[in-house]
Amino acid sequence: MSTNTRTQRILILSANPIGTSNLRLNEEMREIKEGLKRSKQRDYYLLETAQAVRYRDIHRAILDYEPNIIHFSGHGAGEEGLVFEDEIGQAKVVETEALAGLFELFAEQVECVVLNACYSKVQAEAIAQHINYVIGMSQAIGDRAAIEFAIGFYDALGAGKPVEFAYKLGCLSIRIAGISENLTPKLLTNNHSQTQLITRASQSELKINPSIKPEKPADNLRSGQGIDYTLLRDLLADGKWQEADQETMAIMLKIFTREKEGWLRSQDIEKFPCSDLEVIDQLWVKYSNGHFGFSVQKRIWQDIGAIPSQTLLGEHVGWYLKDQKKWLFGSELNFTLNALPGHLPRLGTWWAALFSRLETCKI
């Protein structure tokens, strides 16, 4: 996609329905506008915005503004779809296949779609069957990271850089800001109807050659405590989520020689070795495609806003059934990818200590 040979129309759609966690959408929109306004290619861009977007507003806005680039800011619901609003401002999920079908109708016009919403990689993969460039998020992404990505991405476009470069700068902007979510955005391209996932590393190494498939990075199994993570890796790779959950707890108990007690103390979590915590989290995140993992749970906790309670976290990740006032444990958990994001691994009751340790360890 060339960004400096003709005028590009950008349409920003945003939705933050009643009852969902509050997002800094106005700040993101303002930063994008300011970045393009000061860019040397500003005369080549027309920017339009639509806020509090209802599900039926999506196609209306595309018809009205005829954009080449569509940017969505809001909430994602994983495999279910993206969250827009209904007539009274409540959440209305638009399913993935419906979104893909909509973009298929506008494939000759729309060249790039940016889904700046949690767990939107599922929708990105579907839309990329029809649109040349699509960016989605592989897991939950915090407000700060989402804004930093948008700033870097549109600053690069405004400087006349191609989408691949803009994507890499967006990811790098997250990292420069000191936020450990720079690998969350994923760029997908449509090359002769074959969708290819491009990561920052593979772009640089393969020089955007669509005929070469990037290799998956090797797993980091280095333990500072002499722990063998091979079994956990293999269980996760095979999708054996229940066994992997049990193995995770067994490893954490072993590190503090608490196999006999069968439980950890808050003090243990506060001193948990960062290197091992990182290995456990990265394995869960990688093999669940960003659906499970301690860092996923931490970002959900942060996105809840205010001072989240353990019960509220339990509702969001599916451990607590509000209507039954019941906590789920052991075999009652959902050991499939149909579970809510962050459902696994299930550690126990030390979540505040765990998230504090993740923050200290920069995870």
pLDDT in tens, 6-64: 678 999 999 999 988 888 888 898 889 888 888 878 788 889 999 999 999 999 999 99
The letter for the amino acid at 58 is: I
Residues 254 and 311 occupy one common structural domain: yes
Q: Where residue 102 sits, what CATH number does that domain have?
A: 3.40.50.1460
Residue 282 lies in a domain: yes
pLDDT in tens, 98-134: 999 999 999 999 999 999 999 999 999 999 999 999 9
Is residue 54 located within the same domain as residue 199? yes
* Structural domain boundaries, residue 78: 8-206
Residues 73 and 155 in one domain: yes
In-domain check, residue 3: no
DSSP letters along 277-304, please? Answer: HHHHHHHHHHHTTTSSSHHHHHHHHHHH
N-term to C-term CA, the chain? 34
Statement to judge: residues 202 and 234 lie in one domain = no
Let me know if residue 107 belongs to a domain.
yes
Q: Supply the mean pLDDT for the chain.
A: 85
Q: What is the pLDDT of residue 21?
A: 81
For residue 181, give both structure tokens: 């979510």
Q: How far apart are CA 352 and CA 347, in angstroms?
A: 11
Q: Does a structural domain hold residue 212? A: no
pLDDT digits (tens, 9 = 90+) for 229-255: 999 999 999 999 999 999 998 998 888
State how many domains the chain has: 2
What does the pLDDT read at residue 350?
74
Once rounded to an integer, what is the mean pLDDT over residues 88-107?
94
pLDDT tier, 214 (very low <50, low <70, confident <90, very high otherwise): very low
- The answer as to whether 215 is a domain residue is no
What is the model's pLDDT at position 84?
95
Per-residue pLDDT at 222: 78
Q: Please give the distance of CA 103 from its chain centroid, rounded to a whole number.
A: 21
Is residue 62 assigned to a domain? yes
From 283, 277, 268, select the one nearest 360 (Cα to Cα): 277
Cα–Cα distance measured from residue 26 to residue 32, given in angstroms and rounded to the nearest whole number = 10
- Would you put residue 190 in left (φ > 0), alpha (ψ -120 to 50) or beta? beta
Please compute the mean of the pLDDT values over residues 280-298 and round it to a whole number: 90
Q: What percentage of the chain reaches a pLDDT higher than 70?
A: 87
Say whether both 53 and 192 belong to one domain.
yes
Shared-domain flag, residues 15 and 132: yes
Does the pLDDT value for residue 4 go beyond 60?
no
194, 243: one domain: no
Give percent of the chain with pLDDT exceeding 90: 49
Q: Is the pLDDT of residue 336 over 80?
A: yes
Same-domain check for residues 243 and 201:
no
d(CA 105, CA 7): 21
Q: How far apart are CA 22 and CA 20, in angstroms?
A: 6
Give domain status of residue 149, yes or no: yes
Q: What is the pLDDT of residues 303-327, one digit of tens each?
A: 776 565 778 888 888 998 988 989 8
What's the distance, CA 204 to chain centroid?
Answer: 22
